[in-house]
A and B are shown apart, each in its own frame.
Chain A
Amino acid sequence: MIRTTLAALLSHWLRSPLQLVMLLTGLALATALWSGVQALNAEARAAYATAEGLLADGGTAHLEHPSGQIAPAQFVALRRAGWPVSPVLEGRAQIGAARVTLLGIDPFSAPAAAGPALAASDLGGFFGGLGYAHPQTLQDIGAADMSLRPAQAVPVGVVLADIATVQALLQADGQITRLALSGPLPPTAPPLVALAPNLRLVAPGEGADLAGLTDSFHLNLTAFGLLAFAVGLFIVHSAVGLAFEQRRAMFRTLRALGLPLRHLTACLAAEMAVFALFAGALGLGLGYALAAALLPDVALTLRGLYGAPVPGALQFDPLWALAGMGMTLAGTALAGGQALWRLWHMPALAPAQPRAWALASQAALRGQGLAGLGFAAGAVGLWAMGSGLVAGFGLLACVLLAAALAVPMLLSLALRMSERLARGPVAQWFWADSRQSLPRLSLAMMALMLALSANIGVGTMVASFRATFITWLDLRLVAEVNVLPRSQSEALALQEFLTPRAQAVLPMQRVDATLAGQPAQIYAMKDHATFRDNWPLIAPVPDVWNRLAAGDGVLVNEQLYRRAGLQPGASWLDVPGLGALPVLGAYPDYGNPLAQAVLGQEIFARAYPETPIRQFAIRTADAPALIDALQDEFGLPLGQITDQAQAKALSLAIFERTFLITGALNILTLAVAALALFAALSTLAGMRLVQLAPLWALGLTPRQLAGLELARALVLGALVMVLALPVGLALAQVLLAVINVQAFGWRLPLQAFPADWARLGLWAMLAVLAAAALPALRLWRQGPQALLRVFALER
């Protein structure tokens, strides 16, 4: 009985192969977009774990000095006093063709982790100068002077070597960046304050851990993956719903022939499960390919934005595949559940005709509109009272769902108004028929609404960010040349050399600290017109620059200002070594995940006297000549010198990469929505013949009818685009004013980009045209034969 039932049910798909293709495509695409994003997230998180597992730094405490350098004598004193510390030296250097992070460890004293384990596998070689690097790093390095071996346990962009090897490579003899604690402190160990009062004990997890910093980035990706998954499910829901309508007569017959309802429902559920498994497998393959294609850009973004070492090659994880398949099955159950529920409640002698009018009923539209209103109220509530990133995404979801649910009602309203204004009989029929076709197209229209409003929202956010970012870059990167000294002695020599040759030499010094409970950096700022004239400030106090130069306060970056709720002129900030200082203002600091504060140069030098100079910003009228002179005098490689154009190009490149994946997901979501529309129009095409045949008989040509079908899709698409514009702008505002503030700590002004919207509108119309063209073309080509069949079937 089961086999016979399944054969009968499946025969529908054999007769409607396009519908089956759409169902499977919808499921496969939904799975692909969701699982692709999950693969990217999993790969990145695995990379963070690798980075933290190399020295177990994420799980153990360490000692550090505000200057970033620890004297060897202090290390020796601590060891002698019983402190289980191990020296670590970290620095950047050019190895072969790549600029990498060199990590020097002492394998005997280092905390047990992947790094020391690697060293122990060939101790002789390790002490003899052997380094370990990720295979991808080795590929980037190419030919190198030092001996290197591949190791998956080393993060991308890092070379692990013995501390003595690294000291030699960095020309940093005897230098130590930090001291890792390799075990618990013995009870007899003297306190740190007695041995090394200028060192700070950093507790595990207190530092800027990568997983925490990048959480918002991954949440963004997940949100987009979920949106794409939801849009894909619209296709599935639409295809399953249409198949249900088309098989109503078959269900009635099967039940009339004695098939128990339980069996029929089970068979339908089994049919959906088989489809889900097949399309899920296909989707996982596609998702893997998508993730593999996007991962290099995501890796570059994470490295550029957060310094997170993510490899550019994807590993296959069976758990990921299982989770993806689970999501597909759950999504299918969600999309097909309504059909099963309706079948379960369908009377044995239910009418075989599709319930066109019932579906179109005002009650159904009203119900949907009410649900939309509920979500809109939720959005208002979250806007007014919500806080945190999750509430921000909840707000986004509410806005999107409210808009999507309101689409059929608003379209119906617009079509009704057009019908009233229509003059000719064809125009009148066109609007009335479009309104009546709406229930069957509403899912596709809702998917299109989601895709378009997300596109407008994200596009406007990115464009607003880009415009603000470029202006900000122009103001911030005014120094014509930047030089990175390789050591403190070179820094002093550079300063002496540059002072008479440049208009201004602005040294950059930095210490790491904790400010308002957040991992932060404190910078020194020389009092100069470069900063006074160009730095944009948020809510500065009067006379801000003079007060900063006099050491009468501190500037904070926007991230710290917003996260800690600081008010310039009213708030005070505890600065290690200086006590509480008044907050004088905040400055935008896009792209930096950490909190930051700026002190006047003199007060900084008093508080952190041994801080090395990390960089010089140089004002000069002749940058090329100065760069030549620096190279002649100091033999500085080009990697140590950047001019203004390079710095801007680098920053912009990082910016563009950051939003590359968002752009890719945007386009894919729009493509899925177009597919949803195509699926709906294609499956409806057969049903439409019944409605179009009388018009043909009354004197309209198949060509006119095909044109009207095309026009109907375009009109509906255009109306959705018009509705999507305010929704997209609302989304952009939520992204700029809520999500960005929560995720990154900065707020940006919303700007209008009508040309971008017009371009998107054009793309949307092209997508709609592409989706509607085939069914319309088929109607035109098959024309009289297909239409005549309607009358023949009457008999």
Chain B
Amino acid sequence: MSALELEHVSKSFDSAEGRVQVLRDLSLRLEAGQSLALTGESGSGKSTLLHIAAGLEQADQGRVLVAGQEIGALGEAGRAALRRGHVGLVFQQFNLIPSLNVAANLAFQARLSGREDRAHIRDLAAALGLEGLLQRYPEQLSGGQQQRVAIGRCLAARPALVLADEPTGNLDEATGERVLDLMLGLTRAEGVALLLVTHSPRLAARCDGRAHLRAGVLASALDGAP
């Protein structure tokens, strides 16, 4: 059973210029423990693909399976449950919950999915270097620290699939490197599949596989890619 499977997925949107085809007959598979970097120019459909994989958006055509469950067959509540239980999301803007402190943010999704493991969260906090920041609130953290919390929050729930959308886009290069190191290290250690959307070929090179999107078509799947 693959962590993520997309079969002949297409998606289009209405825009001022008319209907825009964002994804065209796209197929992709990601196994547990694998990491895949998805690159492409702005507007190539990277984020749409990620949103469809997370069940935040629905494909016009094709099948999307996460941990063996077909997303298209699920309603809004089912998709939400799937995200709670099997998907971890990391955003460029971190999207931490501003009203909760770091400790509560770290545990949030795990508790939401009913899989809170305090020891695991403690280990994650230590691995992410967040031990001294647990009582702070998001706005009291730097960008790098916030992104580390976002990664910790996502991994604390032990998801089958992590979807990361430009997780280092708001960070300086050195911090971005450190954050990616942590993310890759932890996903590998936990056996989690990672789909990483990035503009940076240098970061993409550090993943097990790379795929390039051009005008909604998966133009190339490089070494290691499914």
A binding-site residues for B, Cβ under 8 Å: 356-357, 424-426, 428-429, 432-433, 435-437, 691, 693-704, 783-784, 787-788, 791-792, 794-795
Contacts and interface: CB of A to CB of B under 8 A. Distances in A.
A433 B109 CA distance: 16
Interface string B91-133: 1110111111000100111011100000000000000000000
B57 A788 contact: yes
Which of A424, A425, A702, A783 has the most chain B CB within a 10 Å cutoff? A425
Given A433-B99, A791-B47, 6 more contacts: A356-B98, A429-B108, A436-B99, A696-B56, A697-B56, A699-B80
12 contacts: A357-B139, A425-B107, A432-B97, A436-B98, A697-B54, A699-B85, A699-B113, A701-B80, A704-B80, A784-B57, A787-B56, A791-B91
A691 B97 contact: yes
A426 B112 contact: yes
Contact of A697 (B77, B89, B92): B89
Interface of B: 42, 47, 51, 54, 56-57, 76-77, 80-85, 89, 91-93, 95-100, 104, 107-109, 111-113, 137, 139, 165-166
Contacts of B109: 698-699
8 closest Cβ contacts across the A-B interface? A699-B84, A425-B111, A694-B95, A436-B99, A432-B99, A433-B99, A699-B83, A701-B80
Given A784-B76, A791-B91, A792-B47, A432 B113 contact: no
A701 B77 contact: yes
Nearest to B94: A694
Given A432-B99, A791-B56, A425 B108 contact: yes
Contacts, number: 92
B100 A699 contact: no
Contacts of B83: 697-699
A518 B34 CA distance: 97
A696 B107 contact: no
Nearest to B77: A701
Contact of B89 (A424, A432, A435, A698): A698
A357 B139 CA distance: 8
Contact of B96 (A424, A437, A694): A694
Contacts of A783: 76
A792 B113 CA distance: 25
A647 B138 CA distance: 71
Contacts of B54: 697
A429 B93 CA distance: 19
Contact of B76 (A357, A701, A788): A701
A699 B99 contact: no
A695 B91 contact: no
Contacts of B107: 425
A704 B79 CA distance: 13
A764 to B, nearest CB: 25
Nearest to A699: B84
B81 A699 contact: yes
Contacts of A357: 98, 137, 139
Nearest to A787: B56
A697 B93 CA distance: 13
B99 A696 contact: no
A432 B97 CA distance: 10
B38 to A, nearest CB: 14
A459 B56 CA distance: 51
Given A425-B107, A699-B80, A788 B100 contact: no
